[in-house]
Amino acid sequence: MKQKWPLFSGIILLVTGIVLKFIELLPLTYIPFFVVGGSLKIFYIYQIIRKGRYKPGIEILFLIIGLVLFFTGLMLKYNYVDQSYIYWTISGLTLKLAFVILFILKIRKPAK
């Protein structure tokens, strides 16, 4: 559990950022939570790659493409009138979910 603190802290910060975004007490207060939470999750992945507990595979491509699609959907949402951003966002979230599932399966699989 000691080694997973960046992961869990990052998840908590991201959830806090999502809650702050939806309650909208102060504008843009959620951004630091997203940035720090995402950075902690990236740090965790980097650490387990460095320690040899995880060998990146095709799932990293899912993460990268998923993030590109998700952020494209966000950009389209605020810059265009049509509803096409929904398809971009959902596709991105689906690929990110696929990454998470494959990542968990790889981490839990015993080393040979």
State yes or no: pLDDT of 37 exceeds 80.
yes
Do residues 65 and 47 share a domain?
A: no
Instruction: Kindly list the distances between the CA atom of residue 93 and the CA atoms of 20, 47, 76, 90, 100, in Å, as whole numbers in the listed order.
Output: 20, 24, 15, 5, 10
80 and 48 both lie in a single domain = no
Same domain? For 22 and 69 the reply is no
Read off the pLDDT of each residue in 86-104 and give the average, rounded to a whole number.
Answer: 93
pLDDT band at 74 (very low <50, low <70, confident <90, very high): confident
pLDDT confidence of residue 84: 86
How many Cβ atoms are within 10 Å of 1's Cβ, its own excluded? Answer: 5
Give the range of the structural domain holding residue 72, as residue numbers without chain letter. Answer: 56-112
* Average pLDDT estimate for 77-86: 84
d(CA 67, CA 25) in angstroms, rounded, equals 27
Q: Report how many domains make up the chain.
A: 2
At 98 the pLDDT is 95
Percent of the chain past pLDDT 70, that is, above it, reads 96
Kindly state whether residues 83 and 39 are assigned to the same domain.
Answer: no
Q: Are residues 33 and 74 in the same domain?
A: no
> What is the chain's Cα-based Rg?
16
Contact between residue 70 and residue 89 where contact means Cβ atoms under 8 Å apart = yes
64 and 89 in a single domain? The answer is: yes
User: Within this chain, do residues 76 and 96 fall inside the same structural domain, yes or no?
Assistant: yes
2 and 47 fall within a common domain: yes
